[in-house]
Amino acid sequence: MDFIPFDYATLRLVWWLLLGVLLIGFAVMDGFDLGVGTLLPFVARTDAERRIVVNTIGPVWEGNQVWLILGGGAIFAAFPPLYAVSFSGFYLAMFLILFALILRPVGFKFRGKVENTRWKQTWDWALFVGGAVPALVFGVAVGNVLLGVPFHFTPELRPVYTGGFFALLTPFALLAGLVSLSLLVSHGAAMLVIKTRGPIADRAARYGSLAALAGAVLFVVAGVWIATGIQGFRVDSLIDGAQASNPLFKTVSREPGLWMANYSARPWTMLAPVLGVAGALAAATLLRMRRGMAAFVASATSLAAVILTVGFAIFPFLLPSSTMPDAGLTLWDASSSPMTLWIMLLATAVFLPLVLAYTSWVYRVMRGEVDDASVNDTPNAY
């Protein structure tokens, strides 16, 4: 493997960063879809208005879900133990997310098939569920990562999850879910202000501003809770980034406040939570001023900063264990082989720019406002 220009530790760190990029890409790109779906029953009062709202995301929502697929694929290939534990331990939660996401294409396609008010309202609420439930559950999952997940490994390195679905719904995890839901609603509202005018944009700005303020407050509350009451994790043994992956070759301690240690050791990381709050507050202000694009950038910055806040806090952990702390997964002991990481990095260097270029082209083609005329004059409109 002398032809690989990076050492194992560097490859692992690069893939930790790439995983963060993919998660941020999903939150920013598919996040406004979820937010618009959540807002649909509230910002649109008539069928004409609801058609406009649906068509603001109709041409792009499928492409945006590529980021979810990329994130899941990256976890599967780069960090197989993380994929095995999280996708099996959070099985019912993942199934709930998939069920909600499946409602989106069905809702888009079926709501206009029958000219009946109750029929259309039913699918409008299905689109609401398809937006709100994933937005909430994704946040709940992040909250459980911060709390630690009940799993351990057998001597043969077979992962064993010992928790249950309802055990995931702790007060702190639900708080994290509300942070996610609030910020994604404000993100969707910013897109509606960009793409619509009149009563829809006015209602979206009002609801989005309130959601952004709620997201900022809840994010601060979650941070105080983590600093004062949530037990964090710390690797106490010597870390060798070049060793073969084995999550049992370390010792881990668990104490309240340990999640704040990285911020003390690297003060520059405090920029992430500061931007998380500042971005949400800026989005709230800009939405009230009807400055949609600026609000969208601010809410996207807040979402990215919140994800970075979690990543910086738990580094180098990927998924800590609450029942067997020594078995917690870190990027140093849960990654694929150097060859796998290198080949994947080459593939990413080729295909990720293509995804970005194609996405940029699609949004350029689909630019412009959505109104009654554009919806009624387009035969493929929902």
Q: How far apart are CA 163 and CA 89, in angstroms?
A: 7
Q: Cα angle vertex 211, ends 206, 213, to 5°? A: 100
Q: Which two tokens stand for residue 178?
A: 């509300």
156 burial level (CB within 10 Å; 0-12, 13-18, 19+): exposed
What pLDDT was estimated at residue 3? 67
What pLDDT was estimated at residue 318? 94
Q: Where are the domains of the chain?
A: 8-367
Q: What is the pLDDT along the chain (382 residues), one digit of tens a residue?
A: 556 777 888 999 999 999 999 999 999 988 999 999 999 999 998 888 888 998 888 888 888 888 888 888 889 889 999 998 888 878 888 889 999 989 888 888 888 888 888 898 899 999 999 999 999 999 999 999 999 999 988 888 888 888 888 888 999 999 999 999 999 999 999 999 999 988 999 999 999 999 999 999 999 999 999 999 899 999 988 887 778 788 888 899 999 989 999 999 999 999 999 999 999 999 999 999 999 899 999 999 999 999 999 999 999 999 999 999 999 999 998 899 899 999 999 998 998 898 889 888 888 888 888 877 777 777 676 7
What pLDDT was estimated at residue 342? 92
Q: How far apart are CA 355 and CA 347, in angstroms?
A: 12
Q: How far apart are CA 224 and CA 261, in angstroms?
A: 14
Q: How far apart are CA 362 and CA 356, in angstroms?
A: 10
Three-class SS of the chain: CCCCCCCHHHHHHHHHHHHHHHHHHHHHHCHHHHHHHHHHHHHCCCHHHHHHHHHHHCCCHHHHCHHHHHHHHHHHHHCHHHHHHHHHHCHHHHHHHHHHHHHHHHHHHHCCCCCCHHHHHHHHHHHHHHHHHHHHHHHHHHHHHHHCECEEECCCCCEEECCCCHHHCCHHHHHHHHHHHHHHHHHHHHHHHHHCCCHHHHHHHHHHHHHHHHHHHHHHHHHHHHHHCCEEEEECCCCCCCCCCCCCCCCEEEEECHHHHHHHHCHHHHHHHHHHHHHHHHHHHHHHCCCHHHHHHHHHHHHHHHHHHHHHHHCCEEECECCCHHHCEECCCCCCCHHHHHHHHHHHHHHHHHHHHHHHHHHHHCCCCCCHHHHHHCCCCC
Q: How far apart are CA 242 and CA 229, in angstroms?
A: 34
What pLDDT was estimated at residue 138? 93
